[in-house]
């Protein structure tokens, strides 16, 4: 590691803060965690070498408070700051503030963040760089411009916020009569989410796949480490990711990789980043670039053996990406399930409470990146992501089977989670055949049933095993106590309760 910094402050929380702390340990760097009042006893605050309280639970008074973050860095002598993802990770003003304070921002230059953060400016840069983009408009000044642009592009179209992503301000319009109301709604949402109400139109692709390319860039070169399939998403929020994509062959990977590298070089990128595309057949279109580490980075790590967070640290310290070596060839297949405190049987409504029990699966090819522990309180102040379950196997079919087993072993008691939904997806014939698009969730409403059949089967099998070892009889479904809905529990916990 370069001598440019020896101590890193992680301006984030949860599983990504834990992940960065572990990467710092491997690089023999000291770590500083920051925490709000609500996170005083959180795993990331307990794991770091030092921990500093930065304010009350609301993110605006803690994790989004630049002055308090910089003060914590000054107080602890942290020479570098890692933003993780979310919060201030893609905030160019924060990157500049870190650099102005004489510290290293572990991420791309502020200008690159700014260039890719404004979606319309990013489109302009990509067109200039020869990167294919979905046909679209400039930011719209009024409803009249929106109607003219929609007529030129052709329906259906999607309204999108110019200043951000994550599904905020995004609305599909299929009927011209709906455009004015949708524009007003999208503008209001964009203003509330990003403080910038500008929106623009893009042609809406009916059933594309969402595929992204991981890039690494140092001062001398930019490389890519292959693609991730991210098509299973709800309201533009990803639920399951895998690498590689089942529909990307070597020729398409080479074409997409070349374009991803060109996109990164167009903004003088440095560090780890992701170029996202919508793909239909052999055609692909630039969607956006995420100028940070991605939530789903572990699947790329699994198939390449590259520690992407360590690469971030090393590049920020002045070292070459991959130590100057060529990117390794991918091996096997990896899948990640985002385990969130949301109830899929109730439209993925957030679930709050205390984690009463936590047991995570282990074994060959199984990884858990988590930010919770037993006794941890899950509230509404932050993103509901609890952890990420990742598996790696020789091929996709084996990876799916391994994920099903790992999900059945996972135990999170105390709050409803997305675990039952992930189990249902792993058993679905279309998923197993990789018959996917970004409309997968809405096209498979049966997977949101309160009791996924395979989950019930797993529960009854374990209940039978408990019966044979304890001598107690399992309770029939009609006799179950109605203390909690069974979809809130893992198979293990339900079996213990019902047995």
pLDDT digits (tens, 9 = 90+) for 88-115: 999 999 999 999 999 999 999 999 999 9
Catalytic residue among 13, 253, 292, 338: 292
Tokens 């949708």, residue located: 182
**Rounded Cα distance, 189 and 66, in Å:** 24
Pairing of strands 411-413, 333-340: unpaired
Residue-level pLDDT at 450: 54
pLDDT tens-place string over residues 121-138: 898 899 999 999 988 999
SS3 391: strand
Structural domains in the chain?
Answer: 7-106 (3.40.50.20), 135-203 (3.30.1490.20), 209-448 (3.30.470.20), 453-498 (no CATH)
pTM for the model stands at 0.84
Residue-level pLDDT at 164: 73
**Short-list 197, 192, 151, CA closest to 173:** 151
Residue-level pLDDT at 166: 65
Count CB atoms within 10 A of the CB of residue 444. 15
The ranges of the chain with pLDDT < 50 are 451-499
| DSSP annotation of 205 | P
Is 68 an annotated catalytic residue? no
**Rounded Cα distance, 95 and 76, in Å:** 19
């Amino acid at each position: 590691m370069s001598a440019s910094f020896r101590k890193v402050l992680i301006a984030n929380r949860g599983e990504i803060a834990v992940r960065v702390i572990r990467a710092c340990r491997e690089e023999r760097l000291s770590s500083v965690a920051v925490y709000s009042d609500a996170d005083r006893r959180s795993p990331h605050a307990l794991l770091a070498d030092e921990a500093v309280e930065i304010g009350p639970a609301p993110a605006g008074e803690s994790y989004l408070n630049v002055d308090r973050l910089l003060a914590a860095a000054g107080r602890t002598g942290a020479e570098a700051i890692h933003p993780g993802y979310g919060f201030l990770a893609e905030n160019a003003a924060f990157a500049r503030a870190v650099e102005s304070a004489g510290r290293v921002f572990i991420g791309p230059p502020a200008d690159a963040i700014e260039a890719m953060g404004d979606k319309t400016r990013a489109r302009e840069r990509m067109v200039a760089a020869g990167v294919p983009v979905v046909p679209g408009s400039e930011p719209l000044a009024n409803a009249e411009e929106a109607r003219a642009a929609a007529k030129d592009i052709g329906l259906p179209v999607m309204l999108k916020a110019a200043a951000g992503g994550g599904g905020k301000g995004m609305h599909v319009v299929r009927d011209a009569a709906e455009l004015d109301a949708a524009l007003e709604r999208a503008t209001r949402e964009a203003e509330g989410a990003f403080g910038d109400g500008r929106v623009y139109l893009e042609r809406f692709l009916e059933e594309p796949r969402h595929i992204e390319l991981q890039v690494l860039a140092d001062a001398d070169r930019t490389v890519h480490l292959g693609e991730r399939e991210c098509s299973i998403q709800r309201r533009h929020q990803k639920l399951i990711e895998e690498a590689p994509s089942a529909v990307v062959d070597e020729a398409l990977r080479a074409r997409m990789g070349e374009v991803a590298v060109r996109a990164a070089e167009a903004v003088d990128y440095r560090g780890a980043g992701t170029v996202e595309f919508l793909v239909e057949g052999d055609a692909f279109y630039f969607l956006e670039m995420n100028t940070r580490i991605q939530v789903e980075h572990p699947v790329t790590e699994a198939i390449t053996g590259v520690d992407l967070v360590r690469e971030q640290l090393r590049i920020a310290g002045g070292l070459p990406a991959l130590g100057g070596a060529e990117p390794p060839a991918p091996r096997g297949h990896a899948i990640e399930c985002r385990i969130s405190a949301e109830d899929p049987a109730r439209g993925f409504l957030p679930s709050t409470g205390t984690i009463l029990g936590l047991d995570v699966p282990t074994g060959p090819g199984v990884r858990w990146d988590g930010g919770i522990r037993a006794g941890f309180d899950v509230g509404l102040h932050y993103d509901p992501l609890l952890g990420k379950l990742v598996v790696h196997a020789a091929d996709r079919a084996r990876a799916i089977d391994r994920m099903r087993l790992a999900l059945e072993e996972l135990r999170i008691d105390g709050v409803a989670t997305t675990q039952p939904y992930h189990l249902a997806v792993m058993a679905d014939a279309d998923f197993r055949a990789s018959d996917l698009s970004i409309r997968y969730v809405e096209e498979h409403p049966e997977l949101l049933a309160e009791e996924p059949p395979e989950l019930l089967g797993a529960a009854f099998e374990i209940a039978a095993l408990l019966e044979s070892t304890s001598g107690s009889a399992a309770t029939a479904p009609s006799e179950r106590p109605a203390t909690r809905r069974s979809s809130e529990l893992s198979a293990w916990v339900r079996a213990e309760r019902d047995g």
